[in-house]
Amino acid sequence: QCGLGRGERGWFAGVAVLGLSLSLSPRELPSPSLSPSLPLLLSLSLLQALRANQDLVPAGAWDCEKSLRKVLEEIPKGSFDRPQAAAQVVPSLEGQTLLNVNHLKCASDIDNLPLSPSPSTAPAGGMISVDYTVADRRHSIHDSVTVEISSGQVLFKVLEKARAMYPVRFRFEYAMTFWGESITGIRGIASNRTAHTYWQFLSGSQPIPRGVGSYIPSDGEHITANYTTW
């Protein structure tokens, strides 16, 4: 069984194989604000762990092909464009783990992965409109703005445009990580690891699947930066 989700105390990742389990408590995991692609990173790590122990996994308990199809669906979306992400996904596509990475011969591989075309949000060179909201119930903050960016630009550009329009209401701080830009504070309200608070980015009511430096919004999309707990 392979699980990844949010429990009552925060992020949880676990691998259970024939009664043996590996689990990480919320205090042992990095804050989502510092690891914007944490669910993706853990999913790939769990995939490698299951592959390394697949001879111990009961028949029917894990669908490897389904896991790989999900990974392949994410490739055209740019989920693994950054080197850190690519380093995690390549071994899984080879049917290996990071323990075997020095034996891989990628240059000799046949290009036979069934990739779908990259999605487009608007005609090349066109402009799109994105609604952006900053919400924090603790400090009674709820500000919205509509910005225009070029099609194909990442969410981080939306934040920059909003800040340029309203420097006080939409100011933000960020840190550069291996996975790209990570928002550490908005309007002077910083993420706090001790208090388990961070700025979560939502598309509609759903968390975005990638960080602000990788996620590409679509025309008319409503993005919310919500100050919450993990």
Q: Domain check: are 133 and 54 in the same one?
A: no
Identify the pLDDT of residue 104. 67
Q: Domain check: are 131 and 223 in the same one?
A: yes
Asked if residue 117 is part of any domain, the answer here is no
**Averaged pLDDT for residues 165-178:** 92
pLDDT bucket at 205, cuts 50 / 70 / 90 = very high
Does the annotation list 48 as a binding residue?
A: no
Range among 111-115, 212-216, 220-224 with highest mean pLDDT value:
220-224
CA 82 to chain centre: 12
Q: Domain check: are 141 and 186 in the same one?
A: yes
Asked if residue 14 is part of any domain, the answer here is no
The pairing of strands 20-24 and 10-17 is antiparallel
Q: What is the pTM of this model?
A: 0.63
Q: Domain check: are 91 and 140 in the same one?
A: no
**Averaged pLDDT for residues 54-80:** 77
Asked if residue 190 is part of any domain, the answer here is yes
Structural domain span for residue 46: 41-98
Identify the pLDDT of residue 115. 60
Asked if residue 20 is part of any domain, the answer here is no
Does the annotation list 88 as a binding residue?
A: yes
Query: Is the separation of the CB atoms in 22 and 14 below 8 Å?
Result: yes
Number of compact structural domains in the chain: 2
Asked if residue 118 is part of any domain, the answer here is no
Identify the pLDDT of residue 57. 76
Q: Does the structure show a pLDDT above 50 at 187? A: yes
**Averaged pLDDT for residues 22-26:** 42
Q: Does the structure show a pLDDT above 70 at 172? A: yes
Does residue 91 or residue 201 have the better pLDDT?
A: 201
Identify the pLDDT of residue 73. 79
CATH code assigned at 191: 2.170.130.30
**Cα–Cα–Cα angle for 227, 39, 45, nearest 5°?**
150
Q: Does the structure show a pLDDT above 60 at 86? A: yes
Asked if residue 135 is part of any domain, the answer here is yes
